[in-house]
Amino acid sequence: MRREAGGAATGGGERRFVTAVRLSDELRKRLHALLANDRCDGDRLMTRLRELRNSEGIRACSAALGMLAHLEIPEVQAERLLVDLLRHRSEVTRALGRDPGLRVAAIDYLSNVNKLLANPAVVESAELERTERSAVTDSLTRLYNRRHFGRALALEVRRSHRYSLQLSLLMLDLDAFKRLNDRHGHLFGDLVLQRVGQELRRAVRDADSPCRYGGEEFAVILPETDRLGGLAVAERIRERIHRSFVERSVGGKHVEVTLSGGIASYPVDGEEAQALIARADQALYLAKRLGKNRVSLYHSERRGAIRYPAKSTARASLRMPSEEAVSEVRPLNLSRAGALLDLEEDLGPAASFELEFRGRDMAGRPRTWLTAVRVVRVERGGARADRCRVAVAFESPLPDECLFQQVHRTSALRAVQGGRG
């Protein structure tokens, strides 16, 4: 068992490390303070943990056990285990005629009664914390390192399978980093990598795992996030890092730094950690081939881009060449490359026209997006004889800012603006 605040014990048997519960510095300090009193009242401790869980939305009992014993236990089981541990402490207190304290009671219960730990050894808490932090952290960027990445991804895949959750993996690579290194030197390149690490940490949630995968390549594990949510987060990261180098110099020099990214999601793109890594890499290579400074989704479909259901309120204006009349159409689904439209016009398969989408920019101002399209397929004879479905291809990719406002998942737009539902 490993223990915080004053002393720590490490199990010599099977070790299960806590990586699923990640806390902000403020919440970690609050939990540390709560557990720091070795003679704390058991009922008060459980009450405070439940209050933290309800008010902050964290797995407080799991996090407390992680700090106390470095065990990875789901929240419901962790709460029961803590209740049993505190009951054991009361029994030992009655038998000894004195309170052994929370930590001694935990060591005894988890190693001798519950037998979750074997051969515990006492380690100084401060030294243990420093050692563990250095073992999982990249010294240059202060992101998680490759070793932690592998362990954390495997754990999140198991958790997603167990609780039927979605999970996305984002692989990122700086564009033309070798050229930048050759021109300005490796010390300057290190400053660039440090800036990227800083911006990457600021762009994700506490529950996410930003990692340095190797060299100028990075990875972000996004728990409970589907493909569209992952795309939104990736675009936010890409734009934030690019803007950071445009607005602020590095080592007294102004350089343009861009990155490309690829996304794969559990379970639709793979159900094993290695499959997700391989497919996110494939999507990354696609982004590089398409011109860099962009993010691509992995997909095994024959069409060139993944389509998402449009919101029921999504509308677009159709403009035919050499005609002033404008008619309204309803998108049924959309991607960056095309759409399926519901409309009355009986268009020929070779027709071309323009679509105008309306929405708001990132600052909340009304704006429009105009894109030229060509018809690739017309479907007639559906449930309503007066309407037809028309599949169209866009002459240029639909901007993500526009796409996110038209598709069914409104949480994707919220993700771009700074949060993820």
DSSP per residue, 322-336: T---EEEEEEEEE-S
> What percent of the chain has pLDDT above 70?
79
List the Cα angle 242/246/252 in 5-degree steps.
120
Q: How far is residue 276's CA from residue 233's CA, in Å, rounded to a whole number? A: 17
Short-list 338, 231, 201, 244, CA closest to 295: 231
Q: How far is CA 286 from the centre of its chain?
A: 21
pLDDT of 353 > 50? The answer is yes
Q: How far is residue 301's CA from residue 269's CA, in Å, rounded to a whole number? A: 11
Q: How far is residue 190's CA from residue 183's CA, in Å, rounded to a whole number? A: 13
Contact 9, 16 (CB under 8 A): no
Short-list 223, 256, 258, 216, CA closest to 237: 258
Q: What value does the mean pLDDT take over residues 53-78?
A: 84
Top-tier CATH class for 146-297: alpha beta
Active-site annotation holder among 4, 156, 216, 235: 216
> What percent of the chain has pLDDT above 90?
33
The secondary structure element, H or E, covering residue 121 is strand 121-123
Contact 318, 326 (CB under 8 A): yes
Strands (E), 241-283: 259-266
Label residue 21 left, alpha or beta by phi (over 0 means left) and psi (-120 to 50 means alpha): beta
Phi, psi of 16 (to 5 degrees): -125, 115
Q: Respond yes or no: is residue 216 known to be catalytic.
A: yes
Going by pLDDT thresholds of 50, 70 and 90, the confidence category of residue 381 is low
The CATH fold assigned to 308-416 is: Thrombin, subunit H (2.40.10)
Tell me what pLDDT residue 13 has: 35
Burial (0-12, 13-18, 19+ Cβ within 10 Å), 97: exposed
pLDDT of 298 > 80? The answer is yes
CB-based contacts of 359-365 (< 8 A; 24+ apart in sequence): 359/401, 359/402, 359/405, 359/406, 360/405, 361/401, 362/401, 362/416, 362/417
Q: Say how many C-beta atoms besides its own lie within 10 A of residue 2's C-beta.
A: 26
Going by pLDDT thresholds of 50, 70 and 90, the confidence category of residue 341 is confident
Window from 127-141, 153-167, 199-213, 246-260 with minimum mean pLDDT: 127-141
Under DSSP, is residue 370 helix (H, G, I), strand (E, B) or coil? Answer: strand
Going by pLDDT thresholds of 50, 70 and 90, the confidence category of residue 275 is very high
Domain positions in the chain = 8-136, 146-297, 308-416
Q: Say how many C-beta atoms besides its own lie within 10 A of residue 52's C-beta.
A: 20
Cis, peptide link before residue 267, omega less than 30° from 0? yes
The whole-model pTM stands at 0.56
Tell me what pLDDT residue 205 has: 87
Under DSSP, is residue 311 helix (H, G, I), strand (E, B) or coil? Answer: coil
Short-list 76, 86, 110, CA closest to 35: 86
Q: In what order do the strands lie in the sheet with 259-266?
A: 209-214, 217-223, 167-174, 259-266, 295-297
**Amino acid occupying residue 65:** L
Instruction: Write out the two tokens for 379.
Output: 């479907």
Strands 366-379 and 388-394: antiparallel
List the Cα angle 221/226/231 in 5-degree steps.
75
Tell me what pLDDT residue 111 has: 87
CA distances from 369 to 121, 313, 352, 420 (A): 64, 17, 17, 24
Instruction: Write out the two tokens for 253.
Output: 């020099």
pLDDT of 248 > 70? The answer is yes
Instruction: Write out the two tokens for 57.
Output: 């939305």
Contact 343, 331 (CB under 8 A): no
Tell me what pLDDT residue 259 has: 95
Mean pLDDT of the residues in the chain: 80
Higher pLDDT, 339 or 193: 193
Contact 351, 401 (CB under 8 A): no
Q: Which residues, listed in sequence order, are joined to residue 144 by a DSSP beta bridge?
A: 137, 211
Higher pLDDT, 243 or 346: 243
Tell me what pLDDT residue 305 has: 61
Q: How far is residue 390's CA from residue 333's CA, in Å, rounded to a whole number? A: 11
Q: How far is residue 328's CA from residue 348's CA, in Å, rounded to a whole number? A: 18
